[in-house]
């Protein structure tokens, strides 16, 4: 048995809140439609999502993740480490240190719910929203 899911990510207090829903295929347009129905604690709405595929054999009790997509961000602005440094904003001090120490060359800052900053990986996509 094989099933596809979309995992929605919303700003949380310390880490992202997540909601998982079954989906017929890895379809970003359908996931965008579904995202508008998700609301987490404190009114937070998704800043992005990713897809997983779970599978199990007939002789297995539980399924396991056999495939995972990159993240799809629901809008946002992409900044490089150089962009952040060039702003010369003292409020970005911790972000700069985190990017340098973690080896992140790009981040996406999303404000469609709460302001949320995440690393932008090579397989990640920033979608038009709304």
**What are the pLDDT digits (tens) for 51-85?**
999 999 989 999 999 999 999 999 999 999 999 99
Which pLDDT score, from 0 to 100, does residue 12 have? 93
Which pLDDT score, from 0 to 100, does residue 4 have? 98
Rounded distance between C-alpha atoms, residue 67 and residue 64, angstroms: 9
Q: Which residues of the chain have pLDDT under 70?
A: none
Which pLDDT score, from 0 to 100, does residue 130 have? 86
**Are 23 and 72 spatial neighbours (Cβ–Cβ below 8 Å)?**
no
**Are 11 and 47 spatial neighbours (Cβ–Cβ below 8 Å)?**
yes
Q: What DSSP line would sit under 81-128, residue for residue?
A: HHHHHHHT-GGGHHHHHHHHHHT--EEEEE-SSS-EEEE--TT-EEEP
Residue ranges covered by each domain of the chain: 2-73, 76-120
- Residue 56 burial class via C-beta count within 10 angstroms: exposed 0-12, middle 13-18, buried 19 and up: middle
Which pLDDT score, from 0 to 100, does residue 74 have? 98
């Amino acid at each position: 048995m094989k099933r596809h899911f979309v995992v929605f990510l919303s700003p949380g207090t310390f880490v992202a809140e997540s909601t998982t829903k079954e989906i017929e295929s890895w379809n970003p347009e359908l996931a965008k439609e579904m995202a508008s129905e998700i609301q987490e604690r404190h009114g937070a709405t998704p800043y992005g999502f990713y897809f997983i595929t779970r599978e199990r054999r007939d002789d297995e009790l539980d399924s396991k993740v056999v495939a995972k997509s990159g993240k799809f961000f629901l809008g946002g602005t992409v900044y490089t480490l150089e962009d952040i440094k060039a702003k010369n904003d003292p409020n970005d001090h911790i972000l700069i240190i985190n990017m340098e120490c973690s080896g992140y060359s790009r981040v996406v800052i999303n404000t469609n719910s709460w302001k949320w900053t995440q690393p932008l990986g090579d397989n990640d996509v920033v979608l038009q929203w709304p």
